[in-house]
Structure 1
Amino acid sequence: MSIKVLVVDDSSFFRRRVSEIINADPMLEVVGTASNGREAVDQVRRLRPQVVTMDIEMPQMNGIEAVREIMRTNPVPVLMFSSLTYEGARSTLEALEAGAADFLPKRFEDIANDRANAIALLQQRVKAIASRRCLATPRPTPSPVPRSTAGAGRTITQPSTQFASARPVAKPAVSEVGAPRLPSRPSGKGYKLLAIGTSTGGPVALQKILTQLPADFPLPIVLVQHMPAAFTPAFAQRLDSLCKINVKEAQGGEILKPGCAYLAPGGKQMLIDGSNRAAKLTIREGGEQLNYKPSVDVTFGSAARIFRGDVLGVILTGMGADGREGSRMLKREGAHIWAQDEASCVVYGMPQAVAAEQISLYSIPLDKMADCILKEVGRR
């Protein structure tokens, strides 16, 4: 059976273009289109698609409002189309908070260098999120509250519960690759770095984890999220406004400091240089030979060179296998690698890649990850 898709955009040209691309894949079928958010909500109820592609800026009801309403009434995975601007990034992050599963740039030339690759990527993304079943649990976003004294002069908003409004239905506790789900007790190992890599579903997962870390978190954190260059500044700022720790887009030459998370800039590679006592960041242009810019493998590999085994590496939800080789390098040096479990992933690709080859020690549900990290580093 083909995957049923609803295409939503106020441009008839874009609706037709996306529909042609989707229908060109024998596994996909466009069952309807809509020109605004209100119509999209009605079509989801009537047609019961398995995936919705959604524009953000539309009349009557915009894409963000439509996602919220769909998640409230008839949850279904939503793939957003976004402009690669700062405002486009902010709107896309709002859509993800509302419950959207993933996003792609609206201009196809921004998706890939080659039109055929762009078409294949769109088809792949639709298929990747199609199996994700959703639960509707939207709630109002809480009001901002003051940070602790460690972050004086700034305010934070507690993490929105809407950010998990499109969670996958829970699956059995036994991992299909045999890894234990949770550490039974802290290992007692000492760490000098927390390294996290993720892709599809990562903005939700990172927010859920980072907002639970205290301002005095004892390690520096490096974050690699597959994301366009226009998005990472807005994403870093959003996380920083929500978290007790400091979060920033990484810059070359910065010395890694405890209680600070450094987000790899989109379109570039983030490496760790210096020594394990005075580690610093190097930002380089992304090489054309690499599929991912930023790449988890690149950052994790550099962490293995500088910190050896004193790293806790975490691989979260995402398509593909980026992070597997970098994690392998870290494990070879004695580092510990954890993976997000399948049931809580938007796409169980990257975590499966490290779990299937027994690189990761545990497969941990997203809602338990922060607590496990805190216990492991002695903060629980």
Structure 2
Amino acid sequence: MSRITVLVVDDSAFMRKLITDFLEESGFIEVVATARNGHDALSKISQLNPDIITLDIEMPGLNGLQTLRRIMEEFPRPVIMLSSTAQEGAEHTIQSLQLGAIDFIAKPSGAISLDLHKVRQELLQKVQMASHSRVRKINKANIEPIKQEKKSITQSKRYGQHIVCIGTSTGGPRALQQVLPRLPEDLEAPVFIVQHMPEGFTTSLAARLHSLSAVNVKEAEDGELALNGTAYIAPGGFHMKIEKAQNGLMIKLNKEYPRNGHRPSVDTMFESISKLENIHKVAVMMTGMGADGTEGLKKLKQSGDLHAISESEKTSIVFGMPKTAYQTKAIDAVEDVQDIAASILKFIRG
């Protein structure tokens, strides 16, 4: 196996040394250089052409977001952000994912994390995963709001009620930015989303997507009734299930054991929706590593009244979850990410 080359960018000499040691101890990663700031990083990327970059968000001068923007414009390649879990850090992390970063690592205890060893294995796994990902040059369509035309959709005569459910992981925040803003505010369905993400970050993700979308986007709350034209994102660290209640559909959150390492789990959400009767379901599988959602998709298919969409290999950052979904033979349409919203609307209209 060829070694993965990495540039480590952090304004702390201690953190640069710690991250370098963790990566090189793996035996399959070579840190070709470190950089102390954004300008230093851009110069070394041009000279050394590393496969992957780890990039601290909080740096003086040219900060992590500004540096990331330049990287994606001039030297597009996989970038893994290192972020604090504070609110400002979470907001910046979501911005970085929508600017093109492939993933992030939450520092356990702030800018200089003496306990970074707690996320050592996560760092190694994400660098290895990033080496198999697809990253394209950023363009304004990826980062600016989409002009939503106020067009009503016609309620399907075949179905009285619809549900849209979306599962995604690596690359998901950027992909969701290409789907939710293309849905109309009078969408005749609630939208339920599982995005693999730890606690402390889904609130910022929901707020960012809400600011760009005609539909309402919010972090789901336990016990709330689902409304048409609203997208509900499962909170990090919680499974989300949808149940029938006397007054409609109710969201239930829990902290049951992770499934295949994930909480929230797409499988958990899909399986709960498969139990709902006399409701038309539109399921969407988008970019992500692994197979979460595949078993749930099979159960959705068995329950009937399903149309399923998977993101194409062409636009998936990681073609894992969409690929395994397609292999179930439950998929009705394979779409580039920018066409997924139109496909959802087509199936809802009947």
- Answer whether TM exceeds 0.5 for this pair: yes
Which residue number in structure 2 is paired with residue 182 of structure 1? none
Question: Distance between the aligned counterparts of 1:116 and 1:309, measured in 2?
Answer: 47
Which residue number in structure 2 is paired with residue 120 of structure 1? 121
CA contact (8 A) 2:164 2:191 kept: yes
Alignment match of 1:287 (pick from 229, 242, 257): 257
Which residue number in structure 2 is paired with residue 209 of structure 1? 179
Superposition map of 1:38-187 within 5 A: 38-107=39-108, 118-139=119-140
Superposed CA RMSD in Å reads 2.8
CA contact (8 A) 2:76 2:138 kept: no
Unmatched tracts of structure 1, length 5 or more: 151-186
Please state how far the C-alpha of 1:143 moved relative to its aligned partner: 8.3
Please identify, of 359-368 and 60-69, the stretch whose mean Cα deviation from structure 2 is larger.
359-368
Question: Distance between the aligned counterparts of 1:218 and 1:84, measured in 2?
Answer: 36
Please state how far the C-alpha of 1:371 moved relative to its aligned partner: 1.4
Question: Distance between the aligned counterparts of 1:144 and 1:288, measured in 2?
Answer: 35
Q: Assess, with a 3 A threshold, how the Cα gap between structure 1 residues 143 and 291 changes in structure 2: closer, same or farther.
A: closer
CA contact (8 A) 1:54 1:63 kept: yes
- SS in structure 1 at match of 2:324: helix
Question: Distance between the aligned counterparts of 1:296 and 1:144, measured in 2?
Answer: 27
- SS in structure 2 at match of 1:306: coil
Please state how far the C-alpha of 1:307 moved relative to its aligned partner: 4.0
Which residue number in structure 2 is paired with residue 362 of structure 1? 333
Please state how far the C-alpha of 1:293 moved relative to its aligned partner: 1.2
Paired AA for residue 338 in structure 1: I
Superposition map of 1:209-248 within 5 A: 209-248=179-218
Paired AA for residue 356 in structure 1: Q
Which residue number in structure 2 is paired with residue 198 of structure 1? 168
- CA deviations 1:228-271 (Å, max 9, x no partner) are 21011111111111110011111112111111111111111111
Q: Assess, with a 3 A threshold, how the Cα gap between structure 1 residues 276 and 27 changes in structure 2: closer, same or farther.
A: farther
Paired AA for residue 7 in structure 1: V
- SS in structure 1 at match of 2:7: strand
Alignment match of 1:322 (pick from 284, 292, 301): 292
Please state how far the C-alpha of 1:342 moved relative to its aligned partner: 1.4
- SS in structure 2 at match of 1:262: strand
Paired AA for residue 264 in structure 2: P
CA contact (8 A) 1:272 1:281 kept: yes
Please state how far the C-alpha of 1:27 moved relative to its aligned partner: 2.7
Paired AA for residue 311 in structure 1: K
CA contact (8 A) 1:319 1:350 kept: yes
CA contact (8 A) 1:192 1:307 kept: no
What TM-score, normalized by structure 2, do the two folds share?
0.88
Question: Distance between the aligned counterparts of 1:370 and 1:131, measured in 2?
Answer: 27
Alignment match of 1:352 (pick from 316, 319, 323): 323
Which residue number in structure 2 is paired with residue 372 of structure 1? 343
Question: Distance between the aligned counterparts of 2:147 and 2:134, measured in 1?
Answer: 33
- SS in structure 2 at match of 1:342: coil
CA contact (8 A) 1:309 1:336 kept: no
CA contact (8 A) 2:107 2:116 kept: no
Please state how far the C-alpha of 1:144 moved relative to its aligned partner: 10
Paired AA for residue 250 in structure 1: A
- SS in structure 2 at match of 1:377: helix
- CA deviations 1:315-374 (Å, max 9, x no partner) are 111111111111111011112222111121111111112112323233221121111112
Which residue number in structure 2 is paired with residue 153 of structure 1? none
Which residue number in structure 1 is paired with residue 23 of structure 2? 22
Please state how far the C-alpha of 1:289 moved relative to its aligned partner: 6.3
Q: Assess, with a 3 A threshold, how the Cα gap between structure 1 residues 255 and 266 changes in structure 2: closer, same or farther.
A: same
Question: Distance between the aligned counterparts of 1:276 and 1:45, measured in 2?
Answer: 61
Paired AA for residue 50 in structure 2: P
- SS in structure 1 at match of 2:164: strand
- CA deviations 1:120-160 (Å, max 9, x no partner) are 3222211212233443344496689899699xxxxxxxxxx
What TM-score, normalized by structure 1, do the two folds share?
0.82
Q: Assess, with a 3 A threshold, how the Cα gap between structure 1 residues 288 and 300 changes in structure 2: closer, same or farther.
A: closer
